[in-house]
């Protein structure tokens, strides 16, 4: 009876150990697959960034339709673009708790009305915050008349974690918000917006800095996780081999030697 019980414990421990090793290997392979996916996305984004510059006013009809939601707008992300139009400064938004070069401040977003009547929201740059008075914003210039700028096509501004509901008060200036939803912004302003934004990449001007953080590929992170899971699997395999096979055999040989 004791021998049967010992055999049952041995089998349970062995199966649990094998399961742990296989799980560690599976999770490591999954992380490597994630790294490969991130590498593909990074390569595609880099190819988009190196593509010839787009000129919004010269886009063909089917491209314009794609940018306005009837096609795959994601296919245009990271493309460099040149815009010409007029600022709609009344609808400028200041996104709070954004950092640039380790300093807290605001991202400044202003819609630009193009010659064909379309409107694109431009992430114009960054200003530092006033720690004594949050609503006291550094002065920026919003030129009147026709302006020309360069940038890259991007998705909506990245969202930060926010406590409570988003600001839903009537439109007023200055408009300071934690996050910005393009559909809600379009509804509040009545503007017909592209579903993409443009991150302006011109040299610092108008009182704004444009040292935008470069997005990380995330490949190294997944590779690091994969290494950790493989290391855990290796440790479990070594423990399984020692405690379930080598150590009992060593004891058995020692008894017989005596």
Region 46-61: mean pLDDT is 73
List all residues 6 or more positions away from 137 whose beta carbon is below 8 Å from its beta carbon.
Answer: 94, 106, 127, 130, 174, 176
Q: What is the pLDDT of residue 62?
A: 44
> What is the reported pTM?
0.77
- Which candidate, 59, 44, 74, 48, places its Cα nearest to that of 152? 48
Mode of pairing for the β-strands spanning 175-177 and 193-200: unpaired
User: DSSP label at 165?
Assistant: P
Alpha helices in the chain (DSSP H): 2-49, 61-65, 182-189, 219-241, 247-257
Residue count of the chain:
258
Give the tens place of pLDDT for each residue, 105-123.
Answer: 999 999 999 988 889 999 9
Region 207-224: mean pLDDT is 90
Which comes out higher in pLDDT, residue 181 or 63? 181
User: What does the mean pLDDT of the chain come to?
Assistant: 85
Give the tens place of pLDDT for each residue, 134-182.
Answer: 788 999 999 999 999 999 999 999 888 765 555 555 566 668 999 999 9
Helix (H) or strand (E) holding 57: none
Q: What is the pLDDT of residue 58?
A: 54
Region 249-258: mean pLDDT is 69
Give the tens place of pLDDT for each residue, 19-51.
Answer: 999 999 999 999 999 999 999 888 888 888 888
Q: What is the pLDDT of residue 142?
A: 95
Q: What is the pLDDT of residue 63?
A: 45
Q: What is the pLDDT of residue 164?
A: 54
> Residue 187 corresponds to which tokens in the numbers above?
């509804």
Least confident of 69-83, 154-168, 223-237: 154-168
pLDDT at 60 over 50: no
Q: What is the pLDDT of residue 175?
A: 87
For residues 119 and 191, what is the distance between their CA atoms, to the nearest angstrom? 7
């Amino acid at each position: 009876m004791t021998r049967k019980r010992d055999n049952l414990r041995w089998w349970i421990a062995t199966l649990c150990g094998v399961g742990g090793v296989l799980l560690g290997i599976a999770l490591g392979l999954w992380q490597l697959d994630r790294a490969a996916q991130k590498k593909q996305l990074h390569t595609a984004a880099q190819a988009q960034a190196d593509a010839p510059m787009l000129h919004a006013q010269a886009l063909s009809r089917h491209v314009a339709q794609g940018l306005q939601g009837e096609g795959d707008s994601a296919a245009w992300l990271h493309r460099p673009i040149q815009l010409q139009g007029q600022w709609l400064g009344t609808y400028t938004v200041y996104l709070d708790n954004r950092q640039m070069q380790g300093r807290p401040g605001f991202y400044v977003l202003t819609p630009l009305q193009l010659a064909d009547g379309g409107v694109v929201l431009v992430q114009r740059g960054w200003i530092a915050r006033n720690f004594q008075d949050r609503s006291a914003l550094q002065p920026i210039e919003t030129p009147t008349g026709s302006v020309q700028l360069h940038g890259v096509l991007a998705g909506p501004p990245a969202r930060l974690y926010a406590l409570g509901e988003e600001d839903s008060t009537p439109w007023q200036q200055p408009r300071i918000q934690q996050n910005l939803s393009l559909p809600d912004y379009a509804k509040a302003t009545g503007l017909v917006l592209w579903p993409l934004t443009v991150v302006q990449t011109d040299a610092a001007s108008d009182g704004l800095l444009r040292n935008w953080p470069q997005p990380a590929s995330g490949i190294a992170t997944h590779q690091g996780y994969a290494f950790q899971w493989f290391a855990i699997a290796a440790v479990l395999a070594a423990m399984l081999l020692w405690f379930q096979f080598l150590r009992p055999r060593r004891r058995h040989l020692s008894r017989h030697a005596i």
